[in-house]
Chains A and B, each alone.
Chain A
């Protein structure tokens, strides 16, 4: 069965360190998204990609970057982790075009920045 996986599931790091969160999907979807989920804010879009070599900033992109070198993967990098980036991070994917844009979510990564 197709799926979307994230790793690690839990991560503790220190302020100032670079951290990369992995996202891998086997749906063969062109669209991929990164969100963070915080109490009282719901889901906020960090970055998204509509295909290989395409990346775009979302509403809370400062301090984060992504790259898309293949269809399956969209790693999220925190260049210099800050305590304000402690959150649960979700990756999602969807088909390009063709009607209703249902998103498929990974299980999430809980990141703690000390």
Chain B
């Protein structure tokens, strides 16, 4: 079946450090891939997305590339800020069988000043 595995947190970084959060997936066909972010006390919101192999999604300095050969969609940011502290969810939407989204367990990021 479809599944998403992402690195366990929490991840603690100093401001301006480089961020990588690993995400791998299992799915048949060509799913769409997403990163959602959840700030404290709020619901999830879409951070970026990619719909086909080798696509790069980007937003607010974050990037992720859809790698079909390694079934990965790792999230990166070159210089994190305190305001990036949040929980990050990797997710996929299968290309068949309805409109459900499968979420990873989430990775909490703490950025220290």
Seen from chain A, the residues whose Cβ lies within 8 Å of a Cβ on chain B are 31, 33, 40-43, 45, 48, 50, 90, 92, 94, 96-97, 99-103, 105-108
- Is the CB–CB distance between B43 and A107 below 8 Å? yes
| Contact residues in B for A107 (Cβ distance below 8 Å) | 41-43
A2 to chain B, nearest CB (A): 14
- Is the CB–CB distance between B43 and A40 below 8 Å? no
Seen from chain B, the residues whose Cβ lies within 8 Å of a Cβ on chain A are 32, 34, 41-46, 49, 51, 89, 93, 98-101, 103-106
A98 to chain B, nearest CB (A): 10
Cα of A55 to Cα of B52 in the assembled complex, Å:
30
A71 to chain B, nearest CB (A): 15
- Is the CB–CB distance between A106 and B93 below 8 Å? no
- Is the CB–CB distance between A103 and B32 below 8 Å? no
Known interface pairs A99-B51, A107-B43, A108-B42; A42-B106 also in contact (CB < 8 Å): yes
- Is the CB–CB distance between A42 and B99 below 8 Å? no
Given contacts A97-B99, A103-B101, A108-B42, 8 further A-B contacts (CB under 8 A): A33-B100, A42-B105, A90-B44, A94-B101, A99-B51, A101-B101, A105-B45, A106-B43
B85 to chain A, nearest CB (A): 17
